[in-house]
Amino acid sequence: MYTKQHYTVPGTGLSLGYLQYLPADACTDPATRALPLVIFLHGSGERGDGSDSELDRVAVHGWPRYVREGTDYPFILICPQCPRDTHWGGILESMNRFLDHLLDTLPVDRARVYLTGLSMGGTGTWLWASVSASRFAALIPVCGAGVGWLSCTCLHTPIRAFHGSVDGAIDCYESIRMVNRINAQGGHADLTVYPGVGHNCWEKAYTDPTLIAWMLEQHL
């Protein structure tokens, strides 16, 4: 099960509430054992004020949902809540400072930090990577939209993207365009398109039996 945590970004006044999941056998001493870290960015419908009463909304989809339902994972899972009046792309500098905080306070293997998100969080995954790709060992954007001319920033980061072919909220072309641009420049991006699936392709993506094993093989 996850716990509810809070972090105020120094000098900004931005208070982030987040869900934190540690594997059952996690050691609190970083010198003894370092674990992979996954940061999960939720969609627009799960935004809130970061209070304990609203943080459970972050766990309605994807890996945080499965943690809530009792699934165990071999990695630390951190799920921040984006404030209602903004989006992930609007707080990227603060998110980098938040990541610094996580690396300083949790037993993290710094060569195995992974970023994923769905919908607005999938877009946030593309955007955060566009300014800080070197921090992440792999990216998993799910039904998000990137900025094509920033695709060159992700050429050295392994990527698995997912999208539904009939997504009515964020067109599948957004993922196709990003993946094609990255690969045309020598990058390493793979796209899974689910035929006939709409915006909620995360139901298939986060239960893909190959995804976690692939992710954990990636290192900086």
* Residue ranges in the chain modelled with pLDDT below 50: none
How many other β-carbons are positioned within 10 Å of the β-carbon of residue 12? Answer: 12
Domain count of the chain? 1
Q: How far apart are CA 199 and CA 126, in angstroms?
A: 17
The whole-number pLDDT of residue 155 equals 97
Q: Lay out the sheet containing 108-118: strands in order across.
A: 3-8, 15-21, 76-80, 35-41, 108-118, 138-142, 159-164, 189-194
Mapping DSSP onto H, E and C, the string for the chain reads CCEEEEEECCCCCCEEEEEEECCCCCCCCCCCCCEEEEEEECCHHHCCCCCHHHHHHHHHCHHHHHHHCCCCCCCEEEEECCCCCCCHHHHHHHHHHHHHHHHHHCCEEEEEEEEEEECHHHHHHHHHHHHHHHHCCEEEEECCCCCHHHHHHHCCCCEEEEEECCCCCCCCHHHHHHHHHHHHCCCCEEEEEECCCCCCCHHHHCCCCCHHHHHHHCCC
Residue 176 near residue 215, CB atoms below 8 Å: no
User: Which residue type sits at 128?
Assistant: W
The whole-number pLDDT of residue 141 equals 98
Report the CATH number at residue 46: 3.40.50.1820
The whole-number pLDDT of residue 33 equals 72
The whole-number pLDDT of residue 28 equals 54
User: Rounded to 5 degrees, what are φ and ψ at 70?
Assistant: 110, 0
Q: What is the pLDDT of residues 32-66, one digit of tens each?
A: 579 999 999 999 999 999 999 999 999 999 999 99
The whole-number pLDDT of residue 29 equals 53
Inter-CA distances, 214 with 56, 137, 180, 218, Å: 28, 11, 20, 7
The whole-number pLDDT of residue 13 equals 84
The residue segments making up the domain with residue 200 are: 3-25+33-217
